[in-house]
Amino acid sequence: MPNAAIKTPGPDHPITLAAHAGRVVVTLNGATLADSRRALLLQEAGYPPVYYLPRADVDMRALARTPESTYCPYKGHAAYYAPVGTAGPGIAWSYERPHAAVHAIAGHLAFYPDRVDAIQVD
């Protein structure tokens, strides 16, 4: 997307990012899809908090990239991932080259709570 606007988080649209001290486990179809003690917690404006898990803690063999993509002026271009062998919508997303303000989420995935069995946070 050439010439896409890049916005910096601030008082009108705050974004905070911090290491989560506990464990985050994502299950799908009764199996553990991700298990991390290295998740990042992103809180953005009025949106619900989102946990970003390192790819190394996600069973990436179970996911395939979809053709879907979106753009957020605060975070960058998002890529989406669906379970291998399904034609359904993505269950996870990733900012593979995020904007500088949220660069720490590079190499991480976040999951839609309503598209997996559970996201357990300890």
- Mean pLDDT, the chain, rounded, equals 95
**pTM confidence score:** 0.94
Domains in the chain (CATH in brackets) are 15-121 (2.170.150.40)
Residue 3 has pLDDT above 70, yes or no: no
Three-class DSSP labels, the chain: CCCCCCCCCECCECEEEEECCCCEEEEECCEEEEEECCCEEEEECCCCCEEEEEHHHECHHHEEEEEEEEEECCCEEEEEEEECCCCCCCCEEECCCCCHHHHHHCCEEEECHHHCCEEEEC
Residue 60 has pLDDT above 80, yes or no: yes
Residue 2 has pLDDT above 60, yes or no: no
